[in-house]
Amino acid sequence: MKTSQVKALERIYRRRIPASQIVTGELARYLTEISQEIRRQVGLIIDRSGAVKYVIVGDDREIVIPDLSDFALGRSGLRGLRCVHTHLQRDPLSTDDLTDLALLRLDLMVAIEVGEQGLPGEVHYGHILPPNRSGKSVEVLKASSIYELDLDLASFLRALERELEMKMAETVDLSDTREKAILISVSQDSRRETEDSLDELEELARTADVVVLDRFVQRPRRINPKYLMGEGKAREVVISALQQGATLLIFDQDLAPSQVRSIAALTDLKVIDRSQLILDIFARRAHTRDGKVQVELAQLKYILPRLSGRGIALSRLMGGIGGRGPGETKLEIDRRRIRDRINRLERELKSLSRGRLQRRSRRAKAGVPIVSIVGYTNAGKSTLLNALTQSEVLTENLLFATLDTATRRLRFPQEREVIITDTVGFIRKLPPSLLGAFKATLEEMEDADLLLHVVDASNPRFEEQVSAVERILLDLDLDRIPRLLIFNKVDLLPADEVAALCRRFEALPISAMDRNSFEPLLEVLEKRCWPDSQRDNGS
């Protein structure tokens, strides 16, 4: 381009378009003339006040819109920016134009044809549609020339925003500031497994205080390594998510760092995966110093490999849900500082772990048997500990109510006692980094003389949960410790079913809510802990 042409383009930044017009006839002509001269598309990004934010020069077929994530979406989900650009041929809006419109949530996408002698010709313009039954995301219109374009932009946008907000209000509460998520699963597992896992992801989201708007399942024959799903599908999902007013995409599968980056490049929606969601829940729920250190460590280790170069805004990675990143870490943190912090936390963890070791060895010396309660999250482990030992460990109908080990004494007659510890719940696809991070907490289990594997027998998927727990015990090398299978929540099942289940799995039935159901369990506990002595039935 000649200097004079560059200058001519730069001068456009000084212009201001009246709020009622998409673009003035005069400016349109200015654009088409330059376009004609340089044989390239020219585009403008214009805000609601009529100020020109970007002047973009493309090639003869397309323009590339710069990153607009600094311009936040409004309440209606529009970005408050329109794109007006030239088309050298007599072409309607291209697929890319329409995808940009929908993905970037522009007010309008406008293409002005460069007509004869560089005069403005036909105008094609598209706008976003509210969610509708046809599934269409955009509407495209046309005028024979910019002078024929009879549209008061300000009132058109007001009406469009009103309609978008009204439609959105049917499904989401716009005053609700919680994150709104779309769940996505791309998997080659069976349909049933995929759905089960998504149900659990939905529970996790609920635990993290996230509203779930919708879910997408794709079961491709081949996994696309770049976006996990196919590129077209990825666009489609993002567009629909935006249309529904989502703020967050949660993948049920773990995303490789490069996948997070590719998907995040499509949209400024936050993108997280199952592990990150679990980490986030852990971060909110850890209360002890030990727990906090372990979670922050896991979060930092998760983030580190995802921090390659620029590209993806750190805030979006660190943010987790609702902007709660690990500890004090903020935007300006770089990789080196993260590494330093990891080292510091690891040292702290070691010293915390030494303290634990001392406590443990003291206990071991005292010769008191140790029983650890393990099991899937929400099985009722803490409720059982509380009921057995009359204590008040937090219980909740949420996943991962317990993160920190709680240790209590259970007294038996004849001045005998056992130490019972409650532990963090297990879950399938537990992120390996977390398992590692919780090793310190899980160490407690290594000393156990007996593991009480508590199962929520009322859960339709209890069998899978049992095997998930057993697999994790195996991974932790804890399968050598004797185990007792306890079927909990039997108050929710018919008695004959309970009897049959317990026979089949050689399990003991209890209801942690009902102390009267503990007799058989206590009897077995006593026998296992003191095999040599007779149970004292009196006093």
> Which residues are near Mg ion by CB under 5 A?
381-382, 401-402
Tell me the closest approach of the beta carbon of residue 78 to ligand GTP, in angstroms. Answer: 41
Helix, strand or coil, per DSSP, at residue 325: coil
Among 292, 267, 494, 482, CA closest to 403: 292
Radius of gyration of the chain (CA): 30
Residue 253 within binding range of ligand GTP, rule CB under 6 A: no
Report the first-to-last Cα separation within the chain, whole angstroms: 100
Residue number with CB closer to Mg ion (253 or 423): 423
Q: How far is the CB of 223 from ligand GTP (least distance, A)?
A: 31
Asked if residues 106 and 48 have their Cβ atoms less than 8 Å apart, the reply is no
Backbone torsions φ then ψ of 221, nearest 5 degrees: -75, -35
Q: Does 492 bind ligand GTP (CB under 6 A)?
A: yes
Identify residues 493-512 at the interface with ligand GTP (CB under 6 A): 511-512
- How many residues touch ligand GTP under the rule CB under 6 A: the total is 23
Q: How far is the CB of 461 from Mg ion (least distance, A)?
A: 19
| CA distance linking residue 223 with residue 330, whole number of Å | 34
Tokens 């290594």 found at: 446
Tell me the C-alpha to C-alpha distance, in Å, between residue 423 and each of 291, 406, 439: 12, 7, 11
Q: Which of 377, 389, 405, 465 binds ligand GTP (CB under 6 A)?
A: 377
Tell whether residue 181 is a contact of ligand GTP (CB under 6 A). Answer: no
Q: Is 244 in the site for ligand GTP (CB under 6 A)?
A: no
C-alpha 142/C-alpha 93 separation (Å) is 10
> Can residue 441 be called a binding residue for ligand GTP (CB under 6 A)?
no
Say which entry of Mg ion, ligand GTP, none residue 431 contacts (CB below 5 to 8 A, set by partner kind). none
Which position's Cβ is nearest Mg ion?
402
Binding string, residues 136-175; x marks residues near ligand GTP by CB under 6 A: ----------------------------------------
Q: One-letter amino acid identity for 172?
A: V
Q: Is 372 in the site for ligand GTP (CB under 6 A)?
A: no
Q: Which residue is nearest to ligand GTP (CB)?
A: 425
Q: What is the dihedral of CA 268, 272, 277, 278, to 10 degrees?
A: -150
Using DSSP, state whether 480 is helix, strand or coil: coil
Q: Out of 117, 358, 397, 516, which residue is the one contacting ligand GTP (CB under 6 A)?
A: 397
Shortest CB 454 distance to Mg ion, Å: 10
Give the distance from CA 142 to its chain's centroid: 40
With CB cut-offs between 5 and 8 Å by kind, which of Mg ion, ligand GTP, none does residue 379 bind? ligand GTP
Of 345, 379, 455, 502, which lies in the binding site for ligand GTP, with binding defined by CB under 6 A?
379
For residues 76 and 207, what is the distance between their CA atoms, to the nearest angstrom?
27
Q: Can you tell me which of 36, 243, 276, 402 binds ligand GTP, judged by CB under 6 A?
A: 402
Q: State which residue, 71 or 518, has the beta carbon closest to Mg ion.
A: 518
Q: CB 354 → ligand GTP: shortest distance, Å?
A: 26
- Contact partner at residue 492 from ligand GTP, Mg ion, none, CB < 5 to 8 Å by partner kind: ligand GTP
522: three-class secondary structure by DSSP: helix
Residue 447, CB-side half-sphere exposure with 13 Å CA sphere? 23
In whole angstroms, how close is the CB of 428 to ligand GTP at the nearest point?
Answer: 13
What CA–CA distances, in Å, run from 314 to 244, 326, 341, 418? Answer: 25, 12, 17, 48
Taking CB under 6 A as the rule, does residue 292 contact ligand GTP?
Answer: no
Question: For residues 25-51, b (16+ Cβ closer than 10 Å) or e, as one string?
Answer: eebbbbbbbbbbbbebbbbbbbebebe
Q: If DSSP codes are grouped into helix, strand and coil, which group holds residue 46?
A: strand
Looking at beta carbons only, is 120 or 509 nearer to ligand GTP? 509
- Per CB under 6 A, does 401 bind ligand GTP? yes
Residues 6+ apart with CB under 8 A from 354: none
Please answer whether residues 409 and 394 qualify as being in contact, where contact means their C-beta atoms are separated by less than 8 angstroms.
no
Q: Which helix (H) or strand (E) holds 500?
A: helix 495-505
Minimum CB–partner distance for residue 342 and ligand GTP (Å): 27
Q: Which is nearer to Mg ion, 12 or 476 (CB)?
A: 476
For the CB of residue 502, give the shortest distance to ligand GTP in the complex, in Å. 14
Phi, psi of 532 (to 5 degrees): -80, -25
Minimum distance of Mg ion from residue 488's CB (angstroms): 12
Minimum distance between the CB of residue 297 and ligand GTP, rounded to whole angstroms? 20
**Helix locations, 323-454, DSSP H:** 335-366, 381-389, 432-437, 439-446
> Which of ligand GTP, Mg ion, none interacts with 208 (beta carbon under 5 to 8 A by kind)?
none
**Could you give the angle at which helices 191-207 and 274-285 cross, rounded to 10 degrees?**
30
- Out of 8, 57, 485, 513, name the contact with ligand GTP by CB under 6 A: 513
**Interface map 408-427 toward ligand GTP (x if CB under 6 A):** -----------------x--
Residues forming the site for ligand GTP (CB under 6 A): 375, 377-383, 395-397, 399-402, 425, 488-489, 491-492, 511-513
